[in-house]
Amino acid sequence: MDYRIDVEGHGLLYFTITRESKRNAVNFQVMEGLKKAIERAKEDDIKALVVTGEGERAFCSGGDLSEFHALKTESEAYEMLSKMGKILYELATLPKPTIALINGTAVGGGCEIATACDFRIARRNTKLGFIQGSLAITTGWGGGTLLLERVQPSIGLKILSEAAVYKSDSLHSVGFIDQLVDHVNKEAVEVFLEKMSTIHSSVLSAYKQTIIRKWLETNLYTRMEQEMRTCAILWEREPHHEAVAQFLNKKKSKAK
């Protein structure tokens, strides 16, 4: 199984990607798992959903390039991108607090998953980057649109356009990371939620609904879907296939 769903004390539901050797890259099984976790999190006994990755090296390295490299055309790419895009929209609009517990490197779609959560707790000095630009594509799971909802637009646009890898500390200073910690563990989540957990869940849900209402009025899903379409167009083009081949060839030459 490429993921785990655990319910911890205090009604916290943890979704963990368990593909440490692949830096917790997202394949179709992980997508299905995240969808299940979101459905489970809607039940009354769950107060908050936490998304994380197994091990200390990576939170998530984005889409599994060895698996998704087989998708060549715009429509093949759109099918995959929109599948995950819909899941990230569901995650963003879950009427309960959601937290990305960033235990290690988060790049590409890994940053999109983190952005779909309400809050981000990250290990100090961890690397994060919306690196899609370096693969000649844009964000494709709706995470670029969500980033522009989370941080000041000029900062979000700079982060997306540079396609660079930043330290968690610098993304904390621009408000993308909510809490830096030395040790990424369940205690860090409990400390972060300490005050919130004393508040009745109907109040937390009502506050979350205020942001969801704004997103409904500003057609968030339509904007995310436009991002998926744009990414699919770029995906089909040669520069993207060349960039992915370069990553996969590096892997082959490392193995020699």
Ligand X SMILES: CC[C@@H](C(=O)O)C(=O)SCCNC(=O)CCNC(=O)[C@H](O)C(C)(C)COP(=O)(O)OP(=O)(O)OC[C@H]1O[C@@H](n2cnc3c(N)ncnc32)[C@H](O)[C@@H]1OP(=O)(O)O
**Residue 67 CB, nearest approach to ligand X (Å):** 7
The letter for the amino acid at 93 is T
DSSP label at residue 184:
-
| Between 97 and 110, CB nearer to ligand X | 110
| Between 22 and 120, CB nearer to ligand X | 22
* Spatial separation of the C-alpha atoms in residues 113 and 131, rounded to whole Å: 14
**Residue 122 CB, nearest approach to ligand X (Å):** 15
SS3 105: strand
| Between 99 and 163, CB nearer to ligand X | 163
> Which whole-number Å values give the CA distances from 160 to 120, 137, 144, 163, 166, in the listed order?
18, 11, 7, 5, 11
* Spatial separation of the C-alpha atoms in residues 131 and 112, rounded to whole Å: 11
| Between 52 and 139, CB nearer to ligand X | 139
**How do strand 127-129 and strand 166-167 relate by DSSP bridges?**
antiparallel
**Residue 246 CB, nearest approach to ligand X (Å):** 10
Question: Token pair for residue 123?
Answer: 């290990």
| Between 96 and 103, CB nearer to ligand X | 103
* Spatial separation of the C-alpha atoms in residues 132 and 110, rounded to whole Å: 11
**Residue 148 CB, nearest approach to ligand X (Å):** 15
| Between 60 and 188, CB nearer to ligand X | 60
What residues line the site for ligand X (CB under 6 A)? 22-23, 25, 57-58, 61-66, 68, 105, 107-109, 112, 131-132, 135, 139-141, 231, 247, 251, 254
Question: Token pair for residue 8?
Answer: 């911890």
Q: Which residue has tokens 């998530």?
A: 60
Is residue 74 within a helix (H) or strand (E), and if so which, with residue range? helix 74-92
* Spatial separation of the C-alpha atoms in residues 97 and 199, rounded to whole Å: 12
**Residue 57 CB, nearest approach to ligand X (Å):** 5
**Residue 206 CB, nearest approach to ligand X (Å):** 32
